[in-house]
Amino acid sequence: DAPAVVSLLLRISVTSSINLCNNELTDYGADLLMTVLDANDCIEAIATAGNHCQAAILVRENDTRLNVWACLYPSHTVHFEYQTDFDDAGIMYFLGTHGRTRPYQNPCKSGQVLVSSSEGKVKQQYAAVVGRERQGCAIYYKQHTWFCIDFGSGRSVAPSAYTLRHGREDGTDALRNWELQGSTDGKAWTTIKTHEADPGLTGAWSTCTWLLDANPSVPKGYQMLRVRKTGLNSSGKEHMHLGGFEVYGDF
């Protein structure tokens, strides 16, 4: 039987290779299992294997030994360059594949990002906003609605391009007037790009990518990005439909 555990989250600064209890950290691209003697040793341990830096710590009840499972996340800034719409070179795809080490899973469903909306709710169906399948989310009959992607504390994105997918199986109700915004705290928002009468999304599940200018005042980028509707859609309605989001730049 699996041991009873309580879970803690800890970020380990990754700088150099080290042996922990005779378990070498090797084999970049695979999950790693390390065993350390106690919590203090674990917190002080500095190790590296490629770009590994985030660890989930499982503490066994009545046992001072810890199992440390390291995931693939960059300990330094990594640049993602746009190639084609919804390619495998974007940040959302990277998160969905745990650093390209696993089959893709929607990063919202796996807990890598949090998707929320102006409705004030967090719903599982919002996962379609960052998905790659032809599924959509909608908010009806309201002005200035938005969907927000939160990459999590300690992460940031300085975007250089982003891609959207229309969230309907026909070409109606496509976005025409909206803004891409970024925030470091979820309170103050910076407009990264303004779209006015933008015809980029034109058909069923259509996609389009827009290049973005760097913001020197926010060199490390934003923890959160959101798509905020500012006007009527292609059908002259307030409905907001979205069925996919990808972003490129420095992560």
**Prediction pTM value:** 0.71
Same-domain pairing of 113 and 235: yes
Half-sphere CA count of 194, side-chain side, radius 13 A: 5
- Give the residue from 51, 72, 93 where a domain finishes: 72
Residue 204: per-residue pLDDT = 94
| CATH number for the domain harbouring residue 177 | 2.60.120.260
Same-domain pairing of 236 and 204: yes
> How far is residue 226's CA from residue 230's CA, in Å, rounded to a whole number?
12
Give the model confidence (pLDDT) of 44-67 as tens digits.
Answer: 333 333 333 333 333 333 333 333
More confident residue, 53 or 132: 132
CB 244 within 8 A of CB 130: yes
Same-domain pairing of 219 and 172: yes
Which of 97-101, 106-110, 130-134, 175-179 holds the top average pLDDT? 175-179
Provide the number of structural domains found in the chain. Answer: 2
- Helical spans, DSSP H, in the chain: 39-44, 91-96
Q: Give the three-state DSSP class for 233.
A: coil
Q: Among residues of the chain, what percentage have pLDDT more than 90? A: 55
- Give the residue from 32, 50, 72 where a domain finishes: 72
Give the model confidence (pLDDT) of 85-100 as tens digits.
Answer: 999 999 999 999 988 8
| Backbone φ, ψ for residue 177 (5° rounding) | -130, 115
Please check the confidence at residue 217 and state whether its pLDDT lies above 50: yes
A 10 A CB-CB count for 176 gives 20
Same-domain pairing of 141 and 240: yes
Give the model confidence (pLDDT) of 141-160 as tens digits.
Answer: 889 999 999 999 889 999 99
> How far is residue 50's CA from residue 56's CA, in Å, rounded to a whole number?
17
Q: Among residues of the chain, what percentage have pLDDT more than 70? A: 69
- Give the residue from 32, 51, 72 where a domain finishes: 72
Give the model confidence (pLDDT) of 163-216 as tens digits.
Answer: 999 999 998 999 999 999 999 999 999 999 999 999 999 999 999 999 999 888
Per-residue pLDDT band at 220 (split at 50, 70, 90): confident
- CA distances to 29, 130, 235, 247 from 168, in Å: 37, 15, 12, 21
What's the domain range around 22? Answer: 5-72
Tell me the two tokens of residue 47.
């190790």
Same-domain pairing of 86 and 42: no
